[in-house]
Chain A
Amino acid sequence: MAVQTDLQNRTERTLGSSSWIGRLRALDLSSPRHADKLGYILLAPAVLLIFVILVYPILLSVDLSLQDVDIPRIGETREPYTLDNYTKLFGSAEFWRASWVSLKLIVVVTSACFAIGLATALLVNQHFKGRTLARLFVALPWAVPEVIAVVTWWWMFDSSFGLINWLLVTLDLADKPIAWLSQPVPAFLVVSIVMIWKGYPFVSIMLLAGLQAIPEDHYQAAKVDGAGAWQRLFWITLPSLLPVFGVTMILVVLWVFRDFAVVFILTGGGPIGATQTLSMMTYEQAFGFFRMGFASAIGVVTLVICVLATRLMVSRMAKSMY
């Protein structure tokens, strides 16, 4: 403080003493001697907003998960803390079934997304005329809002007039139209297909970026050594893609895990819970049955899973970022 006044006085003196200029100087946060403070001030609005819309809600949901509440009111006298929600949760068959469905969905969707994503990335990485356009088209489903993707596929899988049933019957692959969404396995399949269609472009885009980062001379060297196309794929392309694979896989897994709209609109978790993921279960408990304390407990469990998965990725990246 003393230094500051001193500086201020000196500035005033050199500037010919009109004191308001000195005060103005002191307020000018962008002057070099305030450089550090400026850093904090620039961060402040974001920190404030993040606190209001992220940190506080997360703390609130942890708080709710520890109380026996149905529809919470903020500021009302809180219920006593209890672990009931968690004991009930881990004891319920529904929770374990939903975890199993989430896991199945993650495995099916992620592997299919990677198969299609890798194939399309390799394809549009070739040199040919019009590949810019091909790249644009290959990843186009990324741009289709999820709800719209869902209703479009819903119509294609319509049990009476849908295109897929017509195709299957015409090609003799099914003897009668399939009621897709009212049977457990077909419903799971439809949910998976919609998610794969929405998810593969991301993998394709990421892997294409990875492919473009592989230096051309690696391939040249391999060719000189007499490696064929398949050998180049297995010994150069795929190993070089491994880091991108890791990050992309975690992102896709988390996306499938967190996704809600596809299941909610298509099946609402049914039939008989066959497509009830943890996200769907959280939402249904909260806004279907208005058991928000219990729902928060499921939410907190999914949160912990997400954070652990993210940490897997972050610990690898943190070093390179700073």
Chain B
Amino acid sequence: MRRTIPQSVLLYVTVILTCALLLFPIYWMFVTAISPSAQLRAFPPQIFPDAPQWQIFQQILETRPMLLWLSNSALAATAAVLLSMSVSVFAAYSLSRFRVRGGQTLGLFILVSKMLPATLLVIPLFAIFREFRLIGSLWSIILAHSTLIVPFSTWMLKGYFDSIPRELEQAAMVDGCSQLGALFKVILPVATPGLAATALYGFVLSWSDFIYARTFLTVEQTKWTANMGIASLKGEFITDWNEIMAASLMAAIPIVIVYMVLERYLVGGLTAGAEK
């Protein structure tokens, strides 16, 4: 299918305009971050500041506990992913390879639980965590985020395992491997990209959470996550938008990088269990 030159030009112009329009908020976040505060209250707004304030990032790290919040987010996300993956790898393998009684019901329950409203779960979880004195501890959100990650990672991994031919592990078992040995020595190495994609996706889910962190960690400012910190920077009367935007950029960049790596697998992740 060949295009004439005007058609090509039109196509490129459309693509560029669309991207520019849709991504403008991200650009504006960046420009606001590096603009001097005074300029943000002046008209007309400048599309790029004359004197970019690059030191804003350093300033944020020095004046706000941003680094602590970021590391809390990273710690919670890593722990939640490790916890969830270590149970869902086995569950997914079992659902993919064994005929387990009740397996189908469990699979459906997991699928439905992806759709549970967090506003419902947060109430009983609050009561439970209060009982175990986990309120204000990162463990609360690690467990709560597992409610998000386990259902989806089990489905996503089951999809990957389904796509690996059974002959592979059968061959290994003929060579004297046990079924469990075959899982570790044959299946998991083959599924590494899938495992990595699933883990990263779980990380994104945990990193992006707001409701659980807001509910369980409010009392303890040193345990806040990056998202909570950012939401709290919006002051009642005076708001330093450049600080908020700089903090937002710092919290968004890890996820954007993950997205760049993940993009190829994204469809698999988003549709895990949602489509065949």
Contact = CB atoms under 8 A, between A and B. Distances in A.
Interface string B238-276: 000100110010011001101110010011001101111
B98 A61 contact: no
Interface string A28-54: 111110011011101101110110011
B124 A166 contact: no
Contact of B275 (A134, A138, A149, A317): A317
Interface in B4-51: 8, 11-12, 14-15, 18-19, 22-23, 25-26, 28-29, 32, 40-41, 43-45
A265 B232 CA distance: 10
Contacts of B144: 53
Given A151-B248, A279-B117, A43 B106 contact: yes
B118 A258 contact: yes
Nearest to A45: B87
Contact of A320 (B25, B150, B276): B276
B72 interface: no
Contacts of B150: 46, 49-50, 53
Contact of B100 (A40, A142, A155): A40
Interface stretch (B57-65, B186-194, B208-216): B208-216
Interface string B97-113: 11110011011111111
Interface in A273-322: 279-280, 282-283, 286-287, 292, 295-296, 299-300, 302-303, 306-307, 309-311, 313-314, 317-318, 320-322
B123 A244 contact: no
Main secondary structure of the interface of A (DSSP, over half): helix
A47 B131 CA distance: 22
Contacts of A155: 28, 32, 241, 244-245
A147 B247 CA distance: 11
Interface stretch (A3-11, A80-88, A105-113, A118-126): A118-126
A307 B112 contact: yes
A310 B128 contact: no
Contact of A137 (B19, B44, B124): B19
Interface residues of A, number: 110
A291 to B, nearest CB: 10
Contacts of A208: 267
B66 interface: no
A251 B274 contact: yes
Interface of B: 1, 8, 11-12, 14-15, 18-19, 22-23, 25-26, 28-29, 32, 40-41, 43-45, 83, 86-88, 90-91, 93-95, 97-100, 103-104, 106-113, 115-128, 130-131, 143-144, 146-147, 150-151, 154, 178-181, 204, 207-208, 210-211, 214-215, 227, 230-231, 234, 241, 244-245, 248, 251-252, 255-256, 258-260, 263, 266-267, 270-271, 273-276
- Nearest 7 pairs of A and B residues by beta carbon: A39-B98, A299-B120, A46-B91, A143-B259, A30-B178, A57-B124, A42-B94
13 contacts: A32-B179, A39-B99, A43-B94, A45-B90, A50-B113, A58-B120, A131-B15, A151-B230, A166-B44, A166-B45, A280-B119, A317-B273, A317-B276
Interface of A: 28-32, 35-36, 38-40, 42-43, 45-47, 49-50, 53-54, 56-58, 60-61, 64, 72-75, 116, 119-120, 123-124, 126-128, 130-131, 134-156, 158, 160-161, 163, 166, 170, 197, 200, 202, 205-206, 208-209, 244, 247, 251, 254, 257-258, 260-261, 264-265, 279-280, 282-283, 286-287, 292, 295-296, 299-300, 302-303, 306-307, 309-311, 313-314, 317-318, 320-322
